[in-house]
Chains A and B, each alone.
Chain A
Amino acid sequence: MRLEPRTEPTRSIWVIAPLVAIAVSFLVAAVLALIGGASPLSVFAAVVRGAAGTQFALVETLTRATPLIFTGLAVAVAFRAKLWNIGAEAQLYAGAIMTVVLGTGALPLPAQILVPMIMVAAMMAGALLLLGPTYLKTHFGVDEVVTTLLLNFIMILFVSMLLDGPLKDPMGLGWPQSKRVIADAALPKLIQGKRLHFGFIIAIGAALIVWFINARTTFGYEMRTVGFNPRAARFAGIPVNWVMAKTALLSGGLAALAGVSEVAGLKGNLTLDLSPGFGYTGIVVAMLAVLHPVGVIAAAIFVAAMFVGADAMSRTVGVPNYIANVMVATALLTMVTAMLFTRFRLKLR
């Protein structure tokens, strides 16, 4: 058995691969459910019911998908240029910090001015955070995977420091939490009395903008070329380092919006458990979407459904909700494997 390069790249895999990935992750989950002493079918039924069975479940899934769309886009943008940004988690918190700094009463401005201002400031913070590792990559050859990963740990400690100090809520009874954002800084709810908020619309808009950049602008073309073959790109006169820097700014900015949306749209304040790993899950979302920005929306909703469904399932069926994390990781590995067959075919001999 060996791999043989295809002469013509095939595109049908782009549709098949995500389906195979989902199927394999369900297979693994079935085995885990059996180990956990439950019938796989009852587990799956409970997951589906918990993720989409009721209006409440559906709203919850879309709410959970919102930050994942942002982090998924951030990863997709970076990975396409082969900039391995594993630091979306830290960039998310950078965005959350800016939201709290500007949105808790420091700037008494009307919402139409304050919200865009917070978004711009947050994007700048996230962008700068990724610019550092990118500079180290292009100028010193330091692997950005390790530096962005290490920055995630530094950032959460930094947030903890801020919540003990300047950003501490004086009325927080000693809990590490910030003050709540003022009404003019909050993103409105989409449905009265439900948790789904305007951040979801911004996320969809962001996906469409990224799609436009990718497909219709020179910058999108440059990012693809740099990712495909940096040497050829340099030879073709594309300023590779500058394209990398611009990619980093876009990617870091998108991840920071996840922080804005979670704080200003959902939680209302900054805490240490703002993100249960949205940055890392964004990698899975981006890969499941084959790095396609519109695909990111679908992949984020799917992954969010797994998590929301598994939470509900673990309450009723009693199988640990970590089954969703296993499924998501399995989907990632299967997806990367399946994508191999766009360029190769399996030859039996």
Chain B
Amino acid sequence: MDGISIIFEASLWAAAIRIASPLIFATLGELICERAGVLNLGIEGIMTVGAFAGWVAVYHGADLWTGVAVAALAGAAFGLLHGFLTVPLGLSQHVTGIGITLLATSLTYYAYRIAFPEVTSPPKIQTFAPLEVPVLSQIPILGDALFRQTPLTYLAFVAVIVVAYVLYRTPIGLAVRTVGENPAAVEAQGIDVTWLRVGAVAVGSAFMALGGAFLTMSAFNSFYFDMVNGRGWICIALVVFGSWRPGKALLGAILFAAFDAYQLRLQQLAGAYLPYQLFLMLPYILSILALIAMSRRAGYPRALMIPYRKGER
């Protein structure tokens, strides 16, 4: 097996789609927040909350989809807090977001230790099982990659379509897009800028939490400290890479994940000659490079990070 032939293996692409799934959810979430004009650096912490909330609900007997809902609600709650602090109060979105990440992460760890005081290896749950789509899963390579995944992965793809539809084809989507560009125009339409933005941040945060929930309910079957491991920050880069568009963001997430899956395999191949840490660095380096590459033509929402106060210019 050599570096090139790996690319044509179905298992690589199946892994890529699996790795991409949490990124798709969280990138969509960040995209919704930023489209409404609010940078949400709480993403890393909100993903941690989602990972824990969904998992602990299932551990206590809830069925898997209830767990998913619990995760989304927990994420939305932190989104409301971030929204309240940054929209009506207009606090620095940078500092508040970091604060939300610190708060969400530490509350999660506290709750984990309260719930499981003495465990050395965290308890496991029965996670989502892969669901083969009839007929389609028989297509070579593509079938293995796309149609033998868990339901949460399918949900991620559906979410992209739904978010794109809502953003570009519905009045509320138009309002969200406009409020991120020119809040005064939305105000002139008689729509409350504050509620619209806070609502978008809450919904976006729910998506981020789903990204976290994917980790504990589909990718792994348990909750670990530091399991989000910078994925949230990578998603912020992916939003820029995708020029704030759901479809491009999806493409970016899959490309990124394919690269990640590729480096994992390359690591086994070249691990004897190169330190494994170099491979683990690649995703983060790639994110920075993507930010630089896109910076020149980034069509970021013009009111991003600018608080709106009625009557102020």
Contact = CB atoms under 8 A, between A and B. Distances in A.
Whether both chains belong to one complex is answered with yes
Interface of A: 3, 32, 35-36, 79, 84, 86, 136, 140-143, 145-147, 149-151, 153-154, 157-158, 160-161, 164-165, 280, 283-284, 287, 318, 320, 322-323, 325-326, 328-330, 332-333, 336-337, 340
Contact of A283 (B98, B107, B109, B237): B98
A326 B106 contact: yes
Count chain A CB atoms within 10 A of each CB in B100, B233, B236 and give the residue with the most. B233
B102 A328 contact: yes
A326 B103 contact: yes
Contact of B94 (A3, A136, A145, A320): A145
A160 B237 CA distance: 24
Interface of B: 41, 85, 88-92, 94-96, 98-100, 102-103, 105-107, 109-110, 113-114, 117, 229-230, 233-234, 236-237, 240, 275, 277-278, 280-281, 284-285, 287-288, 291-292, 295-296, 298, 309
Given A280-B102, A322-B109, A337-B91, A146 B237 contact: yes
A329 B94 contact: no
B302 to A, nearest CB: 13
A314 to B, nearest CB: 9
Nearest to A314: B113
A223 B155 CA distance: 48
Contacts of B295: 136, 140-142
B91 A340 contact: yes
A333 B99 contact: yes
Count chain A CB atoms within 10 A of each CB in B110, B240, B284 and give the residue with the most. B110
Nearest to A164: B275
9 contacts: A3-B90, A36-B114, A136-B295, A149-B233, A154-B281, A154-B284, A154-B285, A158-B281, A161-B277
Nearest to B229: A153
A32 B111 CA distance: 9
B215 to A, nearest CB: 17
A86 B114 contact: no
Contact of A333 (B100, B110, B240, B275): B100
B89 A337 contact: yes
A325 B107 CA distance: 8
A320 B113 contact: yes
Q: Is the interface of B mostly helix, strand, loop or mixed?
A: helix
A140 B292 contact: yes
Contacts of B91: 336-337, 340
A161 B275 contact: yes
A142 B291 contact: yes
Given A146-B236, A325-B110, 5 more contacts: A153-B229, A161-B275, A320-B117, A322-B106, A336-B85
A325 B111 CA distance: 12
Contacts of B105: 325
Contacts of B41: 145
A326 B108 CA distance: 9
Contact of B278 (A32, A79, A161, A326): A161
Given A322-B109, A340-B89, A332 B292 contact: no
A164 B96 contact: no
B92 to A, nearest CB: 7
A328 to B, nearest CB: 7
A151 B233 CA distance: 11
Contacts of B287: 146, 150
A75 to B, nearest CB: 10
A277 to B, nearest CB: 9
Contact of B106 (A35, A164, A325): A325
A322 B288 CA distance: 31
State the 3 A-B residue pairs at the shortest beta-carbon distance, nearest first: A325-B106, A320-B113, A329-B102
Nearest to A35: B114
A141 B305 CA distance: 14
Contacts of B229: 153
Contact of A320 (B85, B90, B110, B236): B110
Given A150-B230, A326-B103, A336 B92 contact: yes
